[in-house]
Amino acid sequence: MREDYTLSHARNRYLRCASFLTMTLPTPAEQLTYFRKQQNQIIDTIQQLVEIESPSDVKAALDRLGTVLTSRFSELGGKVRVHRAEKFGNHLEIRFKAARVSNSKPILLLGHTDTVYPIGTISKMPFRVAKARVFGPGVLDMKGGIALILHVIEALLGWNGGKLPRPVTVFLVSDEEVGSASSRAITEKLARESSGVLVLEPAAGSNGAVKTSRKGVGEYELCVAGKAAHSGLDFEKGQSAVIELAYQVLEISKLVDLQRGITLNVGKVKGGTRVNVVPAEARASIDVRITKKEDAAEVERRLRALKPVNPNCKISLSGGINRPPMERTPGVAALFTKAASVARELGWDLEEAAVGGGSDGNFTAALGIPTLDGLGVVGEGAHAEHESLLISELPRRAALLAGLITSI
Ligand SMILES: [Zn+2]
């Protein structure tokens, strides 16, 4: 009984405190106004992050960006832990405490610091503001998303007397564009201790849909070994690996099942040494996308079952599915419902989308942790010369993220 009394007493105190807190929080409309006023500062942050180029394969460059981000997050009071990676850039984990001691699990904000652009790209496609957009390498995917995290946390700290309304963990990986091999285990560990995961990858399409399902991604390589011969003197003694590969590519294309969302793309082929030599070697790189976890095993089995058409050639397969699909589980759907209601309060109908590309959200969703992706900025041209984001959408994205952190 005594315990019950203490508990209900504590709960009442909490509720009084919470309602007081709610009263002091700006309304959704006021939050939007706040972020509209912050728009130029957000753009300045994006510029700072974009002008430090950070391709996945240049550790020194990624660590330079990591140092800047460490100081930006530390200035806000975040506790930064640097996860050192030998071959990749270091990964950054930043923790923010809640306003009061609370048992609620943290929410995990997930992002990546690496881009697909080699060093020097910035001189060909410089950071610039034009036509109501911000252009530059990685503005959309996803330095704009990292800037949103910084400014939303800053705003929430201001509105809650220097603390956050709930515990928040930010995790920024440096190897997302190359498969997240070195960060995956940390992402999964942090996700397991969180109540939900918000991924700051760009939104889907120009109306800013969030992503509630993503395809799983795999990469395979098929190698063919034949026998070389002089194409003029000994043609009949050769066993062409290129011809064998051509047969295999056609077989692989038969595994595509658009209705089930299974695609296999032979995106790269290589073979032979010279025009007058029967090729002894050929290889193909295959990109695989699946929508259901169970399809991974089936695609794998069918690829492994490929047999050479020419019995004098040998084929071998390497690779596998490296990102499980992010499926629209009830947990994901509930998170979307929450996001849609936050958006409605901001006067907008938030849409959801299923996309073919994978992200680190695939890992966390596959663990059963509610995950919502595409909460970053809105724009077009990710990984392309015209990569850009829409400035007018920045305040709304920031307010949506602030509302979600507060309410889930
Ligand atoms: Zn990305």
pLDDT higher than threshold 70 for residue 13: no
- pTM summary value: 0.86
What average pLDDT does this structure show over 227-241? Answer: 97
Token look-up 């508990």 returns: 7
pLDDT tens profile 80-101: 999 999 999 999 999 999 977 6
Q: 326 CA distance to ligand 1 centroid (A)?
A: 15
Structure tokens at 48: 């700072």
Residue 249 pLDDT class (50, 70, 90 cuts): very high
Contact 180, 187 (CB under 8 A): yes
Q: 47 CA distance to ligand 1 centroid (A)?
A: 17
**pLDDT averaged over the chain?**
93
For 226-377, list the strands marked E by DSSP. Answer: 229-230, 263-271, 277-278, 281-290, 314-323, 352-355, 371-372
Ligand 1 is an ion; its neighbours by CB within 5 Å are 141-142, 201
Q: 119 CA distance to ligand 1 centroid (A)?
A: 18
pLDDT higher than threshold 80 for residue 133: yes
Structure tokens at 401: 């993220």
CB atoms within 10 A of CB 55: 21
CA pair distance 310, 287, nearest whole angstrom: 25
Sign of CA dihedral 95, 389, 142, 201: positive
Q: 209 CA distance to ligand 1 centroid (A)?
A: 15
CA pair distance 173, 260, nearest whole angstrom: 31
pLDDT higher than threshold 60 for residue 6: no
Sign of CA dihedral 324, 329, 334, 339: positive
Q: Give burial (CB, 10 Å; 0-12/13-18/19+) of 274.
A: exposed
Q: 206 CA distance to ligand 1 centroid (A)?
A: 17
Q: 135 CA distance to ligand 1 centroid (A)?
A: 16
Q: 281 CA distance to ligand 1 centroid (A)?
A: 35
DSSP 8-class letter at 258: G
What average pLDDT does this structure show over 8-27? Answer: 51
- Which of 219, 224, 216, 230 shows the shortest CA–CA distance to 260? 216
Q: Give ∠ CA 133-134-140 in degrees, rounded to 5.
A: 110
pLDDT number for residue 25:
83
Contact 176, 359 (CB under 8 A): yes
Q: 313 CA distance to ligand 1 centroid (A)?
A: 40
CA pair distance 85, 90, nearest whole angstrom: 5
Q: 394 CA distance to ligand 1 centroid (A)?
A: 17
- Three-class SS of residue 185? helix
Q: 101 CA distance to ligand 1 centroid (A)?
A: 34
pLDDT number for residue 141:
97
